């Protein structure tokens, strides 16, 4: 099984952020949530007072004021051009995407790409409430294990060193840099 992060790995940029700006373009009144979103960002990244899950949930509150389901098809029609071409040469039927972005956001594009397996943050598209932790870092490995157990990972691809827990259990791992896979830096991994 090959496992892929999504944002900045298969997709150029951050799909969650792009979806927010797309929704904002359709409904400019969403700007009213900006002060709370900014406060959450600073509370997490600068003050370290709230978790990443709490920060992202406070950011996603804008979903309570839009029909996210109605925006998904036109969003992906416009933004699927941001998918990297390199994936097409490596795609396998059993591929798994594991991402911190919301499941509801990634399901349509994964389906279109023929990716049958998806693990992502469980976010209510009508409220922005998280059901469980943000699917990031060690949480990705935990969720993989919950579903797939000890099934081996052949190749793993991500743009972020925060995904090292998955990279360390893969037979081979690649760090995406400037849209291209490069061998994963295995520093500090005794099994490397």
Cα gap 25→2, rounded to integer Å: 36
- Flag whether 71 is in a domain: yes
Average pLDDT estimate for 8-32: 98
Number of domains making up the chain: 1
Q: Tell me the three state secondary structure of residue 62.
A: helix
Give the residues across from 180 on adjacent strands: 177
- Flag whether 188 is in a domain: no
41-85 pLDDT, tens digit each: 999 999 999 999 999 999 999 999 999 999 999 999 999 999 999
Instruction: Tell me: pLDDT of 188 over 50.
Output: no
- Flag whether 189 is in a domain: no
146-160 pLDDT, tens digit each: 999 999 999 999 999
Question: pLDDT value at position 102?
Answer: 98
CATH number for 55? 3.40.50.1000
- Flag whether 35 is in a domain: yes
75-113 pLDDT, tens digit each: 999 999 999 999 999 999 999 999 999 999 999 999 999
Could you list the residue range(s) of the whole structural domain that residue 154 is in? Answer: 3-183
- Flag whether 19 is in a domain: yes
- Flag whether 78 is in a domain: yes
- Flag whether 133 is in a domain: yes
Question: pLDDT value at position 191?
Answer: 39
Q: What is the residue-averaged pLDDT of the chain?
A: 95
Question: pLDDT value at position 186?
Answer: 72
- Flag whether 191 is in a domain: no
Is beta strand 3-4 parallel, antiparallel or unpaired with respect to 170-177? unpaired
Instruction: Tell me: pLDDT of 190 over 80.
Output: no
Question: pLDDT value at position 187?
Answer: 63
Cα gap 98→3, rounded to integer Å: 7
């Amino acid at each position: 099984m090959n496992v892929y992060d999504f944002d900045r790995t298969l997709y150029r940029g951050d799909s969650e952020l792009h979806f927010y700006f797309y929704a904002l373009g359709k409904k400019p009144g969403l700007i009213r949530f900006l002060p709370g979103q900014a406060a959450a960002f600073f509370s997490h990244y600068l003050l370290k007072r709230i978790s990443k899950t709490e920060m992202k949930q406070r950011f996603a509150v804008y979903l309570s004021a839009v029909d996210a389901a109605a925006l998904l098809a036109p969003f992906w029609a416009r933004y699927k051009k941001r998918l990297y071409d390199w994936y097409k040469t490596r795609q396998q039927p059993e591929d798994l995407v594991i991402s911190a972005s919301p499941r509801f956001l990634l399901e349509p594009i994964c389906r279109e790409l023929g990716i049958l397996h998806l693990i992502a943050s469980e976010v209510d598209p009508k409220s922005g409430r998280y059901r469980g932790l943000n699917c990031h870092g060690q949480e990705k490995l935990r969720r993989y294990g919950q579903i797939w157990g000890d099934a081996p990972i052949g190749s793993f691809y991500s743009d972020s060193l925060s995904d090292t827990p998955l990279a360390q259990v893969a037979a081979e791992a690649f760090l995406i840099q400037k849209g291209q896979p490069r061998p994963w830096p295995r520093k500090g991994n005794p099994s490397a």
